[in-house]
Structure formats: C-alpha cells, structure tokens
Amino acid sequence: MSECPKDLIARFVDGETSLLEGEEVKAHLAGCPSCRALEKELSAFAMAMESLPEISLPDSFTSRVLSALPSVSPRVIRIRSLAFLWTTCLAVLSGLTWVINPYVIGDSVTGAILAFWSGVRGMVWLLLKAMPLIDSVVTALIKVARHTLPHPSEFLTLLCAMVGLFVWTWQIETRRGRTKGTVAAQMEGSR
C-alpha cells in the first residue's frame, strides 16, 4: 500500500474488513509506525466505548419522538387532475394540428373549423393507436410526480416510442393530405 489507508484501518479495528483487506492492513501496519499508532489509538477508543454502561431509554421515548415529527401526507394524484391534463394536451395538440394542418388554405372560417375537427379526429385516432403506450406514459408520469424517476433505460424507451409514434402519425397524415387533397379543394369539387 502506497498511502496510509486510515479508513481501512478504522474498519479493521471494528472488524468490518474482509480477509484479504485484513491481511493487507496487517502487512501495512508491520511497516508503518504512524498507522500502528493510529490502530492502537482506535483500539483503545473502541475498548473504552465497550466498557461504558448501556443507556436504557424510557418506554415512551419512541412514541414521543414519532409524535414530534411533522406529519407528511402521501402525494395523491387525483383522477380529475389526470383528466384535466389529458384534456389540456388534447386541446393543445388539436390546436397545433390546426396550425400546421395542410387543409388550412387562406382565411376560410369553414376551412379552419374543418381543420380543427380534423385535428381532433386525428388526435383521437392517435390515442387509439397509442393505447399500448398510454399505460407506460401514465406510469412514467406518476413516477415523475412522486419524484421516483424511472430507470434511464425505461425513460429512454418511452421517449423513443413516443417520438416514433409521432413521426409515424406525421407521415400518415401528410400522405393522407397529399392523396385526398385539401378540404377547400374537396368542397369546390362537391359544389
């Protein structure tokens, strides 16, 4: 050992080292007078601690300490807050779909309304397709809310699945927009 292993010597005195570590400490103590002095000092301290009388606590000590602690209520995620979260997400994503939807042409109010409902329909369709992921998303959100972050691999898998689902849906929607044409063009053709 090149350096003096003071922590290892303390563990050796307390009998908490493995056989290999104990042999290393003994070999080091044979060649290091300062560590031998430390080992003797720690051994004397341990013997002095063992010779002290045991302190007995009153029976009410535990109950007094526990009653003095502030009560902590467990964090509860209410179903209403999850429903509000999903409703808000649906509204925001529908709005984003309306903004970036290829059906919106010009300032047509009819086109805007159709684009909004197309976005809502697309989000409902996406939620139905993403049903296997919803359980994972809710579980991860609950873990995050409880400050027990998921394992990094679990979080990365969830993130990749969500990005993949978004890209897949985006491709389907853009293909659908190209093949059907715009709502304005469809309305012109039906007149």
Q: What is the pLDDT along the chain (191 residues), one digit of tens a residue?
A: 567 888 888 889 988 888 888 899 999 999 999 999 999 999 999 899 888 888 888 888 888 888 888 877 666 656 666 666 777 776 776 666 555 555 555 555 566 666 666 666 766 766 666 666 666 666 766 776 666 655 666 666 666 666 766 666 666 666 665 545 554 555 555 55
Note whether 39 and 99 are same-domain residues: no
Q: E strands, the chain, where?
A: none
Does residue 109 form part of some domain? yes
- The last residue of one of the domains, among 34, 52, 70, is 52
Note whether 39 and 94 are same-domain residues: no
Note whether 96 and 169 are same-domain residues: yes
- Is this prediction's pTM over 0.85? no
Exposed/middle/buried for 157, CB within 10 Å: 0-12, 13-18, 19+? middle
Residues, the chain, total?
191
Q: How far apart are the first and last CA of the chain?
A: 92
Nearest residue to 147 (alpha-carbon basis) of 80, 74, 70: 74
Does residue 140 form part of some domain? yes
Note whether 97 and 181 are same-domain residues: yes
User: How many domains, the chain?
Assistant: 2
Does residue 163 form part of some domain? yes
What's the token pair of residue 127?
A: 């939620």
Q: How many CB atoms lie within 10 A of CB 36?
A: 14
